[in-house]
Chain A
Amino acid sequence: MSSYLEVKNIKKSYKVKDDHLKVINGLELKINRNEFVTIIGASGCGKSTLLKLIAGFIEPEEGQIDINNNKIKGASFERIMVFQEFDQLFPWRTILENVCFALKAKDLFGSKQKRKEVAKKYLKEVHLNNYLDYYPHQLSGGMKQRAALARSLVTKPSILLMDEPFGSLDSQTRQELQNLLLEIWYKEKNTVVFVTHDIKEAVILSDKIIVMDDQKGQIKEIIPNNLTRPRRPYENDFIELFQKLNQLI
């Protein structure tokens, strides 16, 4: 059986003063539909680059990425990225308008009225229904990320790419958002590829944990995560998996 998302022998390097630094070197990866996958690794191991390649923001020098056996070309509505930066929302648009932007861009639901309705529904899911007409600068970091999540989900992308979206949040807010993301994922059934450097976060969220090797630009190990949900960090098997990952990195 072939997988939903397949990364086939890709290579990508960056130019650093006259030298080509191989960030990703012959990487292979298979991800199933509706799977929640986290990618962890030391900083500079190429995990963000891998995510950008899957998003289609950059092109690999060799190899290809397939979805349903079709080679991807460039960025697309079917693979929406959520970034770490708080300013991924447009400051000149209200929260509601930011979400409507996505629907308008995809040209969904014809009328503005209908788009607003749909946007409101998603903003309610991320508990921002009382902040529709606020501008991003009036919101806290956690609220901004929730709004960004709503904007990413509203166009129903089959794959959600997340580049350390909770990396700049305090631990309590981060936990709230992790729970919210899982809640939504159970309902929406997106395939999620989630990059993080936080091992605990990886264990809480994912079905499969991919550990990147920071020297070779390849995958060091793929570890299935079959702990029963909801996962609690004080349980024994959680701690066991955590320590195993900690040694790998």
Chain B
Amino acid sequence: MKNNKIIERIIWILLLAIVWELVVLTGRFSTLILPSLRSILHSLYLSISRGDLLAQIYFSMSIIIQGIIISLIIAMVLVFLSLFSKVFTSLLETIIAIAHPLPGIALLPLVILWMGAGRKAILFIIIHSVLWPLVLNLKTGFQSIPEVYKLIGKNYELNKLQIMIKILTPASFPYFLAGMKIGWARAWRALISAEMLFGAANSIGGLGWFIFEKRSFFDLPGVFAGIIVIVIIGILIEDFVFQSIENHTIKKWGMST
């Protein structure tokens, strides 16, 4: 983001926080329902200093990163295979058509029965959320590569694997990145929902569980503290991580979809 845009954002957030605080001060709502910002921040501070929130952030992030890496590998293999076989491509397209529109959370009951309510189940939901948009985008990316790149690959006597790694993959990077963004957004939403439903079975639970647990004790400052953390992580990933990857790749290369 540009600097003045960041400043704009901060000013708006501060204004909204002041409005929030003013509404609380009017005393129209019980602080049980609408806690003050001070109590929210205090709760956030306590959760962080006790270390449990950090452990839960780590839990959530480690699952999601693991899920994304596994999806990435599977997606590359699937797309690579579809370069070789028309039969496989047609099968893959059918599977995408079925699986892509299916929200991961709809699979939860089934997944619980199949693999229990643990880390594996969440991982499964994340992979389902990331894999299909990624495969779809990579496939589109590969298909929209200028013919001339492939001819150059042939001309310099590269084999199919080399063409895939040296030419097709970088050439379809804008599509790959778009797929990753969709995949991340889906995975992040699925992760929080799944964590709430699964609770902390066999583990400390993640951010979703953190919020859910606070709600059970009617600890609203804690609930809001959890929400703030989720918002911050979302902003960091979307506006900073993806943005900086874009700046160092497709922006620098003058490529866009």
Contact (A91, B253) CB under 8 Å given A81-B151, A83-B148, A85-B148: yes
Give chain B residues whose Cβ lies under 8 Å from the Cβ of A88: 148, 152
**Is A96 an interface residue when CB atoms closer than 8 A count as contact?**
no
Per-residue CB contact flags for chain A residues 68-80 toward chain B (1 = under 8 Å, else 0) read 0000001111011
Contact (A87, B158) CB under 8 Å given A92-B173, A137-B254: no
**Is B101 an interface residue when CB atoms closer than 8 A count as contact?**
no
- Chain B residues touching A, majority SS: helix
B55 CB, nearest partner CB in chain A, Å: 39
Contact (A76, B151) CB under 8 Å given A87-B146, A90-B170, A92-B171: no
Contact (A102, B148) CB under 8 Å given A91-B254, A135-B252, A137-B253: no
Complex CA gap A88/B147 in Å reads 10
Give chain B residues whose Cβ lies under 8 Å from the Cβ of A77: 155-157
Complex CA gap A56/B154 in Å reads 9
Question: B170 near A92 (CB under 8 angstroms)?
Answer: yes
Complex CA gap A77/B152 in Å reads 10
Contact (A92, B255) CB under 8 Å given A83-B148, A85-B148: yes
Question: A75 near B146 (CB under 8 angstroms)?
Answer: no
Closest residue of B by beta carbon distance from A107: B157
Question: B155 near A80 (CB under 8 angstroms)?
Answer: yes
B246 CB, nearest partner CB in chain A, Å: 13
Interface size on B, residues (CB 8 A): 20
Which one, A74, A135, A155, contacts B254 given CB within 8 A? Answer: A135
**Is A16 an interface residue when CB atoms closer than 8 A count as contact?**
no
Give chain B residues whose Cβ lies under 8 Å from the Cβ of A74: 154
**Is B240 an interface residue when CB atoms closer than 8 A count as contact?**
no
Which one, A57, A105, A135, contacts B158 given CB within 8 A? Answer: A105
Give chain B residues whose Cβ lies under 8 Å from the Cβ of A92: 170-171, 173, 249, 253, 255
Give chain B residues whose Cβ lies under 8 Å from the Cβ of A76: 155, 157
Per-residue CB contact flags for chain B residues 157-188 toward chain A (1 = under 8 Å, else 0) read 11000000011001101000000000000000
Give chain B residues whose Cβ lies under 8 Å from the Cβ of A55: 151, 155
Contact (A90, B254) CB under 8 Å given A57-B154, A75-B157, A80-B155: no
Question: B157 near A105 (CB under 8 angstroms)?
Answer: yes
Complex CA gap A79/B154 in Å reads 11
Complex CA gap A22/B41 in Å reads 77
Give chain B residues whose Cβ lies under 8 Å from the Cβ of A91: 253-255
A12 CB, nearest partner CB in chain B, Å: 16
Complex CA gap A155/B255 in Å reads 27
B115 CB, nearest partner CB in chain A, Å: 40
Question: B253 near A135 (CB under 8 angstroms)?
Answer: yes
B257 CB, nearest partner CB in chain A, Å: 13
- CB neighbors of B among A164-205 (8 A): none
**Is A246 an interface residue when CB atoms closer than 8 A count as contact?**
no
**Is A138 an interface residue when CB atoms closer than 8 A count as contact?**
yes
**Is A136 an interface residue when CB atoms closer than 8 A count as contact?**
yes
Complex CA gap A248/B149 in Å reads 35
Per-residue CB contact flags for chain B residues 130-161 toward chain A (1 = under 8 Å, else 0) read 00000000000000001011011011111000
A-B contact pairs, 10 of them (CB 8 A): A75-B155, A76-B157, A83-B148, A83-B151, A88-B152, A90-B171, A91-B255, A92-B171, A135-B254, A155-B156
